[in-house]
Structure 1
């Protein structure tokens, strides 16, 4: 942590800060202070300076990535961010050795230091008391969000809620247990909900409802993590998740929009009543490349067989329903594959034809055959779609649909879920999608009076760490479908459920298969298929998920050595 402390003198170029802020609210550009260079001693003099300083915090939201970067919460994979929905266009394996450094570790602690500085300085700034409290709430929100992600990724981590000088004895302290870190996260968020304004810059900056949305996410994560990873009672956290979600659900200013796809392909999410917080991209100021990677000659990442088979038919039944599903027509052809399926399937992927190396579709190819189209917007064309660093659709960060599903899952995990709970939450998401709504007796799941019996729920893969009851299974399925391609969310769901085996290509061969194209069987096609005709995107490679190793990232070895030099042991995570 020393390298973060060394830069304790805050020197801010307001021009640079203003440009960063344009990504979130360009109307504030005219209100920025004069171009100058400030130090920590003379900066904290006005609300305008505090607002400008707070804008830097928003860089932590990756959204669709910045400019040409593929560091994103959506679609892209890297060695520390892999899910079971998409197969990357090149094979990505899980990390096998501990790295000397970790970008998240460094950036997260930098952000925490910034928030601790805000919490120390803002009370001294001459400004309206309500706005002063709001910015204290903003700082607590970002500190909570950042420690939450540290605990998710690394487990036990060093914790401080003070802005420390370089020589402070508390700079190097043993890591706090992840359970204690999470409790501090919840404390910060609960305090933030009392400090933050109901609305500030609409849905492009943090407000009271953003804090409740994050609190519902944290409570659900911790409650299920303790249950499945630690065999502990997580009820306290699940109750917090429900209560926080309900605050947002009961707020009349939020409502689902009719078009699910519009969450992911809109030029503007500012003021969208379904979006609690958005990352704005403004042409010529801040762009992304998410569309270019799915609309050019670059081979697309593609849907896996494992994910494709999770889509139900419109009657709400799984495609392999015990006793049969009359709406499922098989997957011999692309027409049959998409027939009668959850409409989100066809909104995310092309239904006209598969595309692969020997047979492009409109110039596009996919590593698995499925053509990804979720981010396409018919109002955009040319470089705004096909050129890296020129895309500018907005990205959702927190949505009402997530809050609904947080509420439903927490209710099911508590064992108290009722049909009223379903109707207040998940059934609104399903109705918007165009599939049959659920009913339950508290354990089982039914659609139109038919009990759902998915053999995948009790398969050998699920038995590795234990099967869940049918209503939890269907809520998890809905979450997967609703947030298809939200890579960061899906990966963290897998880890909190202790389902890392989903990523293992031996335990789960379907995670490294693609579309079924029987016409390629026995041909000399460059695109390989197995005996049943399913595309094999990678040949001669496997991915092994090692438990407990891969449930947490390695602590950077440089930081372990840095702490050791100060006489403090920073323990490495199991398996590394």
Structure 2
């Protein structure tokens, strides 16, 4: 049944492709009317056609990537999307010059055009009113998601909420400010929550609670981005983030799954109570390559020293707790490193031995020595593990765990966090992980009656852009560990907190180091280590330049196209 259903979706999607407005530039997607055997007048005739058209929107969720592709939200890196957790097996750094085109810019605007057409045509389609409203909400959801990502990546961007004809004077107009774009995104999402059905096709299509989950993400982003990057009040957005998260948390249908790892290594996330929205993969229809890249002779991307030291011990204390942490046994051996640590550490990375070019482990090597194993599933065998494009584990897109941590962070940033708030949110995540839960006096954080005092929180690195309270620090730590390898989410967090310096090898040397292997000191091994025995994965470093690298460059082709129409599309600072 599942196979037939998905194949039917693919066939119908091909028919609807004529209305997708696929393009290669912002101007093209605004200008070009759809062409094919279907016309605009004969397609919008039934609920089934509307549903088919809406399926095209889901390609925007990258998940683990498509087939052999490595453009994904997890694990894989490129010059526009890398974080401080995983060192890519091939060195990655920031773009230095503006590119003529940008794939994200093109694909987001293509989706926006589809959504604007959908919003214009659906009201005239004969269908049940509740379903009509739902699909209007679906269009608003995807339009909001696309504009949100545009604003995150590019700042001020052209904005239109109408499906425009080629000769419309509004096709080319100055970019709208990032703040106004985000306000429109929030407006779309708030309207979507009132229009969409509470559930539609289980957790593989968007619904009212997916809209609330995205709203909590967007509003948290805006509230913290304003506070840390713009020195502006973000209170109203933080309150929206808290309220939207609570709407999901109050839905008893959503519950944390007992096994954290199962979110990332399951062959089937359908009906998983923690997954608000998932991306499904199926043999012969759609695969990914996430397992193949971590289970074959390809050198793995590896955990950085900077990330490894962020894992607390089971008692909830940081490894360098001022005053000491008896549970932490140091890093002289891999046994000591993993002893008494947050159980998610050993679920994501192998704790038996390090693996590197001089000494593979079961055929595997890692650029930093830490063997990545989060995606391993014993039920998956053969080519479904080892062959690029044939892996079938499903990917989480929105989860209850993220919503819980959105809520906790919003409360902490508002300065209103209570122990009841922590128990309602972050402590559920920590308890599931198997580590001690937090208490707070509103600013400080404690575990088991001991106040957390992490020297990293007030280090020179943190003081570059500003030190945060112990409670906010611990909530940020929890996001990092809970979503380890969720590259796009971590990168967005780093930038909204104004912590781009985390990615700079000079300001933060630990981001370009790996496991400690003292036996390699002074040897002629191919794997190089520093004087203390920490693996050096690269012979080059990277520099984060502010404000340049907080935003991507506006594609120069589009700047030229707009200029030809008498409209200046300004380039971002530093580019």
TM-score computed with the length of structure 2 as normaliser? 0.95
| Structure 1 match to 2:32 | 7
Q: Report Cα offsets for 1:186-231 as digits up to 9, x if no partner.
A: 0000000000000000000000000000000001000000000000
| TM-fit CA distance, 1:338 | 0.3
Between the aligned partners of 1:167 and 1:265, the Cα distance in structure 2 is 50
CA contact (8 A) 2:27 2:558 kept: no
| TM-fit CA distance, 1:167 | 1.2
Match runs of 1:61-210 below 5 Å: 61-210=61-210
Q: Is the aligned partner of 1:320 residue 2:320?
A: yes
Between the aligned partners of 2:318 and 2:234, the Cα distance in structure 1 is 29
| Structure 1 match to 2:41 | 41
| TM-fit CA distance, 1:10 | 4.6
| Structure 2 match to 1:416 | 416
Between the aligned partners of 1:520 and 1:382, the Cα distance in structure 2 is 35
CA contact (8 A) 2:292 2:385 kept: yes
| TM-fit CA distance, 1:381 | 1.1
| Structure 2 match to 1:561 | 560
| Structure 2 match to 1:521 | 521
Match runs of 1:305-316 below 5 Å: 305-316=305-316
| Structure 1 match to 2:546 | 547
Between the aligned partners of 2:353 and 2:176, the Cα distance in structure 1 is 53
| TM-fit CA distance, 1:7 | 3.0
| Structure 2 match to 1:32 | none
Q: Is the aligned partner of 1:446 residue 2:446?
A: yes
Between the aligned partners of 1:236 and 1:322, the Cα distance in structure 2 is 36
| TM-fit CA distance, 1:98 | 0.5
| Structure 1 match to 2:390 | 390
| TM-fit CA distance, 1:6 | 4.1
CA contact (8 A) 1:213 1:398 kept: yes
Matched residue SS, 2:59 = helix
Q: Which runs of 5+ in 2 are unaligned?
A: 1-25
| Structure 2 match to 1:571 | 570
* Alignment coverage as a number of residue pairs: 550
Matched residue SS, 2:170 = helix
CA contact (8 A) 2:418 2:442 kept: yes
Q: Report Cα offsets for 1:271-303 as digits up to 9, x if no partner.
A: 110000000001110000000000000000000
| Structure 1 match to 2:5 | none
**Compared CA separation, residues 177 and 503, structure 1 to 2 (3 A):** same
Between the aligned partners of 1:443 and 1:412, the Cα distance in structure 2 is 8
Matched residue SS, 2:255 = coil
Matched residue SS, 2:366 = coil
Matched residue SS, 1:170 = coil
CA contact (8 A) 1:2 1:166 kept: no
Between the aligned partners of 2:443 and 2:245, the Cα distance in structure 1 is 22
Match runs of 1:266-345 below 5 Å: 266-345=266-345
| TM-fit CA distance, 1:38 | 1.4
CA contact (8 A) 2:279 2:395 kept: yes
| Structure 2 match to 1:30 | none
TM-score computed with the length of structure 1 as normaliser? 0.95
Between the aligned partners of 1:75 and 1:67, the Cα distance in structure 2 is 15
Between the aligned partners of 2:138 and 2:34, the Cα distance in structure 1 is 22
| Structure 2 match to 1:363 | 363
| TM-fit CA distance, 1:85 | 0.2
Between the aligned partners of 2:300 and 2:458, the Cα distance in structure 1 is 32
Q: Is the aligned partner of 1:470 residue 2:495?
A: no
Q: Is the aligned partner of 1:238 residue 2:238?
A: yes
Between the aligned partners of 1:166 and 1:392, the Cα distance in structure 2 is 42
| TM-fit CA distance, 1:173 | 0.5
Q: Is the aligned partner of 1:482 residue 2:507?
A: no
| Structure 2 match to 1:17 | none
Matched residue SS, 1:270 = coil
Matched residue SS, 1:38 = coil
CA contact (8 A) 1:81 1:491 kept: yes
How much is the aligned-residue C-alpha RMSD, in angstroms? Answer: 0.6
Q: Which runs of 5+ in 1 are unaligned?
A: 12-36
| TM-fit CA distance, 1:40 | 1.5
Between the aligned partners of 1:2 and 1:509, the Cα distance in structure 2 is 43
Matched residue SS, 2:134 = helix
Matched residue SS, 1:474 = helix
| TM-fit CA distance, 1:467 | 0.5
| Structure 2 match to 1:509 | 509
Between the aligned partners of 2:145 and 2:226, the Cα distance in structure 1 is 19
Matched residue SS, 2:203 = coil
Matched residue SS, 2:121 = helix
CA contact (8 A) 2:31 2:171 kept: no
Between the aligned partners of 2:498 and 2:95, the Cα distance in structure 1 is 18
Between the aligned partners of 1:233 and 1:338, the Cα distance in structure 2 is 41
Q: Report Cα offsets for 1:12-50 as digits up to 9, x if no partner.
A: xxxxxxxxxxxxxxxxxxxxxxxxx31212100000000
Off by >4 Å, runs of 4+ in structure 1: none
| Structure 2 match to 1:18 | none
Between the aligned partners of 1:306 and 1:405, the Cα distance in structure 2 is 22
Between the aligned partners of 2:398 and 2:39, the Cα distance in structure 1 is 34
Between the aligned partners of 1:40 and 1:389, the Cα distance in structure 2 is 35
CA contact (8 A) 1:193 1:209 kept: yes
| Structure 2 match to 1:20 | none
Between the aligned partners of 2:486 and 2:136, the Cα distance in structure 1 is 30
| TM-fit CA distance, 1:82 | 1.1
Between the aligned partners of 1:524 and 1:219, the Cα distance in structure 2 is 52
| TM-fit CA distance, 1:2 | 2.4
Q: Report Cα offsets for 1:152-207 as digits up to 9, x if no partner.
A: 00000000000001111000000000000000000000000000000000000000
Between the aligned partners of 1:2 and 1:514, the Cα distance in structure 2 is 45
| TM-fit CA distance, 1:5 | 3.1
